[in-house]
Amino acid sequence: MASIFQFAPMIVMQQSGRQKLQRRPEPEEVTDQADHVVQYDRVMGTKLAIAYASGLEVVHRARPEGMARETIDLACGPGHYTLCLARHLGFDRVVGVDLSAPMVEVANQNASEQGLGDRVTFRVGDATHVDGMETGRLELASFTDAAHHMPDLATVTRVLKEMDRMTKPEGLVMVMDLVRLRTEALTERYVNTLGHDYVQRGLPSFFKDFHNSMYAAWTAKELRQAVPRDTSRHWCHIVPRGLPTVQFLLGLPVGRRKVFVRSGLPWKPEACPVPREMRGEWRMLRMTIALASRKLIPPGTGTGV
Ligand SMILES: C[S@@+](CC[C@H](N)C(=O)[O-])C[C@H]1O[C@@H](n2cnc3c(N)ncnc32)[C@H](O)[C@@H]1O
Distance CA 61, CA 112 (A): 29
Quote the DSSP letter at residue 149.
G
CA distance 296 to 53: 23
CA distances from 282 to 121, 123, 288 (A): 29, 31, 10
Would you state the pLDDT for residue 116?
97
Q: Is the pLDDT of residue 285 over 60?
A: yes
Q: What is the pLDDT of residues 178-210, one digit of tens each?
A: 999 999 999 999 999 988 889 989 999 999 999
Using the mean position of ligand 1's atoms as its centre, give its distance from the Cα of residue 254 in Å.
Answer: 27
Atom 6 in ligand 1: residue holding the nearest Cα: 76
CA of 77 to the centre of ligand 1 (A): 5
Residues 264-283: what's their mean pLDDT? 88
End-to-end CA, the chain:
42
Query: Does residue 265 register a pLDDT over 90?
Result: no
**Of the candidates 142, 114, 122, 152, the residue with the CA atom closest to the CA atom of residue 51:** 142
Per-residue model confidence (pLDDT) at position 92:
95
The predicted-structure confidence for 19-51, as pLDDT tens digits, reads as follows 999 999 999 999 999 999 999 999 999 999 999
Report which ligand 1 atom has the smallest distance to the Cα of 76: 6
Please give the distance, rounded to the nearest whole angstrom, from the Cα atom of residue 22 to the centre of ligand 1: 22
The C-alpha atoms of residue 82 and residue 7 are separated, in whole angstroms, by: 30
Which CATH homologous superfamily contains domain 31-183+215-297? Vaccinia Virus protein VP39 (3.40.50.150)
Closest CA to 162 of 230, 214, 259, 79: 230
Q: How many CB atoms lie within 10 A of CB 153?
A: 18
* Rounded distance between C-alpha atoms, residue 228 and residue 291, angstroms: 26
- Report how many helices (DSSP H) and strands (DSSP E) the chain contains, helices first: 10, 8
Residue 146's SS3 state is: coil
Q: Cα separation of 272 and 26, whole Å?
A: 31
Query: What is the predicted pLDDT for the residue at 65?
Result: 85
Contact by Cβ (8 Å): 59, 174? yes
Cα–Cα distance between 83 and 121 in angstroms, integer? 9
How far, in Å, CA of 282 to CA of 52, rounded? 10
Percent of the chain scoring above 70 in pLDDT: 99
Please indicate, yes or no, whether the overall pTM of this predicted structure exceeds 0.85.
yes
The verdict on the CB of residue 55 being under 6 Å from ligand 1 is no
**CA 143 – ligand 1 centroid, Å:** 8
Are β-strands 293-297 and 93-98 bridged in parallel, bridged antiparallel, or unpaired? unpaired
Beta 93-98 vs 120-124: how paired, if at all? parallel
Segment (H or E) for 172: strand 167-177
What 3-state DSSP class applies to 135?
A: coil
DSSP 169: E
The model's confidence at residue 2, banded by pLDDT at 50, 70 and 90, is: low
* 30 Cβ closer than 6 Å to some ligand 1 atom: yes
Q: What DSSP state is assigned to residue 45?
A: G
> Tell me: the pLDDT tens digits for 92-129?
999 999 999 999 999 999 999 999 999 999 999 999 99
At 268, phi and psi to the nearest 5?
Answer: -75, 145
Asked if the model's pLDDT at residue 53 lies above 60, the reply is yes
How many whole angstroms separate alpha carbon 174 and alpha carbon 186?
Answer: 28
* Burial classification of residue 21, based on how many CB atoms lie within 10 Å of its CB (0-12 exposed, 13-18 middle, 19 or more buried): middle
Examine the pLDDT at 271 and tell me if it is beyond 90.
Answer: no
